[in-house]
């Protein structure tokens, strides 16, 4: 399972080195052989478990699985996706079968499980199929070998795309292996009844390295929400959950012209991402922290405004893919420097 990525010789002379092929022949051959072995087994094909960041799941993992399915002709009924937060609808274009991790973990257990995996692996990226992945699949009732040899695991994607994320490979090498599709609509009548009638904005701000929790950023969030609520209702997507390393801003203003709805109040943890997806999918636009949810909005055809204040803490390759994905999905993805947010208000985009 542990594949060694062949090294590249340093360029000689003064000529500019060309970007290497994303997947060296030996690496892609290993991935191809792994998928082929899975297909020749008559067992159900497990996709996941996804235990990493939402942004990578939306921007890379699901489009990559979709591409693999087309490339290898994998029947949807043979596959079962495993993730968390009620995101079965995200995988519907690939497979109708889905197992929910938060049905068998409490949020506290899942966070402990996640932190244990991070400590063992040295980070969030699922570079190998390890004991935490295996334990998660056992918890949801899937019988797979401890080696993970029958699993379509995220290590396939992480190994293939790693050189691109390090800015050592061309973007087309990634785009050739991603099949971007619109997310299907979500039916949840009870929650739909809590959404504003008519146009509204979906908003989700949280702290991360590119948008840290600071007095200045909290003021930007406050002004943005108040400005939006002057134009139309605002749906806040704060959950109050701590199942990863993101801390939400407490951002509900006291008084606004239009209503500000805290949609996630009372929503069970195992459906929190489903509820947020529903709200985003019906919104006129999404405003929030640069990251996973800002990638999700264009997948529903919703314009996304993604805020940051520390550009050194996000990778240019992800931004380039997010913009390309939005264009392919006939949507838009705009990053907003928090220092320029007053300009948005002046232009009438957030006021």
CB contact set of 33 (below 8 Å; sequence gap of 6+):
none
Instruction: Please give the chain's pLDDT, 351 residues, in tens.
Output: 333 322 333 333 334 334 345 556 677 788 888 888 898 888 899 999 999 999 999 999 999 999 999 999 999 999 999 999 999 999 999 999 999 999 999 989 998 998 899 898 888 899 999 999 999 999 999 999 998 888 999 999 998 999 899 888 889 989 999 999 999 999 999 999 999 999 999 999 999 999 999 999 999 998 899 889 999 999 999 876 554 555 667 566 666 778 888 888 889 999 999 999 999 999 999 999 999 999 999 999 999 999 999 988 878 999 999 999 999 999 999 999 998 766 555 445 544
| Domains of the chain listed by start with CATH number | 25-175 (no CATH), 189-346 (3.40.50)
Print the SS3 string covering 247-287: EECCCCCCCCCCCEEECCCCCCHHHHHHHHHHHHHHCCEEE
């Amino acid at each position: 399972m542990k594949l060694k990525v062949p090294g590249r010789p340093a360029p000689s002379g003064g000529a500019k080195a060309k970007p290497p092929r994303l997947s060296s022949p030996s690496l892609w051959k290993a991935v191809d052989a792994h998928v082929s072995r899975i297909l020749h087994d008559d067992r159900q094909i497990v996709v996941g478990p996804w235990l990493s960041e939402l942004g990578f799941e939306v921007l890379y993992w699901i489009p990559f699985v979709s591409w693999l399915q087309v490339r290898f002709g994998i029947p949807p009924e043979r596959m079962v996706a495993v993730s968390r937060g009620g995101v079965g609808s995200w995988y519907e274009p690939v497979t109708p079968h889905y197992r929910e991790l938060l049905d068998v973990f409490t949020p506290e257990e899942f966070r402990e499980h996640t932190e244990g995996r991070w400590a063992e692996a040295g980070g969030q990226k699922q570079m190998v199929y390890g004991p935490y992945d295996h334990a998660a699949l056992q918890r949801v009732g899937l019988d797979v070998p401890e080696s993970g040899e029958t699993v379509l695991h995220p290590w396939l994607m992480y190994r293939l795309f790693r050189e691109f994320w390090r800015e050592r490979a061309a973007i087309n090498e990634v785009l050739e292996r991603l099949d971007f599709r619109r997310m299907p609509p979500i039916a949840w009548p009870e929650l739909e009844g809590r959404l504003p009638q008519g146009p509204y904005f979906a908003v989700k701000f949280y702290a991360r390295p590119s948008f840290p929790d600071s007095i200045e950023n909290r003021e930007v969030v406050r002004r943005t929400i108040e400005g939006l609520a002057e134009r139309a209702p605002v749906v806040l997507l704060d959950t109050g959950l701590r199942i990863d390393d993101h801390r939400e801003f407490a951002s509900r203003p006291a008084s606004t012209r239009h209503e500000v709805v805290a949609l996630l109040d009372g929503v069970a943890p195992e459906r929190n991402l489903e509820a947020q997806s529903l709200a985003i999918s019906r919104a006129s636009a999404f405003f929030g922290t640069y990251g996973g949810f800002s990638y999700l909005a264009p997948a529903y055809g919703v314009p996304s405004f993604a805020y940051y204040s520390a550009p050194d803490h996000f990778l240019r390759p992800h931004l380039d893919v997010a913009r390309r994905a939005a264009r392919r999905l006939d949507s838009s993805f705009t990053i907003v420097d928090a220092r320029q947010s007053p300009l948005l208000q002046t232009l009438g985009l957030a006021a």
